[in-house]
Amino acid sequence: YTLQFAAVMLPTVVSLDKGLIRQFLEEHGAAVLKPLGGKAGEGILFLDPGDRNFNSLVEISTQHGKEPVMVQRFLPEAKEGDKRIILLDGDPIGAVNRIPSGAEFRGNMAVGGQVAPTTITSREIEICALLKPKLQADGLYFVGIDVIGGYLTEVNVT
Q: Helix/strand/coil (H, E, C) string of 46-69?
A: EECCCCCCHHHHHHHHCCCCCCCE
* pLDDT class of 100 with cuts at 50, 70, 90: confident
Rounded to two decimals, the pTM is: 0.88
**Domain residue extents for the chain:** 2-75, 77-157
Residues pairing with 92 in the sheet:
87
Which pLDDT score, from 0 to 100, does residue 103 have? 75
* pLDDT class of 131 with cuts at 50, 70, 90: very high
For 97, other C-beta atoms within 10 Å of its C-beta total 18
* pLDDT class of 112 with cuts at 50, 70, 90: low
CA–CA distances in Å: residue 139 to residues 83, 136, 144 = 23, 5, 14
- Model confidence pLDDT, tens digit, residues 7-56: 999 999 999 999 999 999 999 999 999 888 766 667 788 899 888 999 89
Superfamily of domain 77-157: ATP-grasp fold, B domain (3.30.470.20)
Is a pLDDT exceeding 80 seen at residue 143? yes
Which pLDDT score, from 0 to 100, does residue 40 have? 60
Kindly state the average pLDDT of the residues 85-102.
Answer: 93
CATH level 3 topology of 2-75: Dna Ligase; domain 1 (3.30.1490)
Is a pLDDT exceeding 90 seen at residue 118? yes
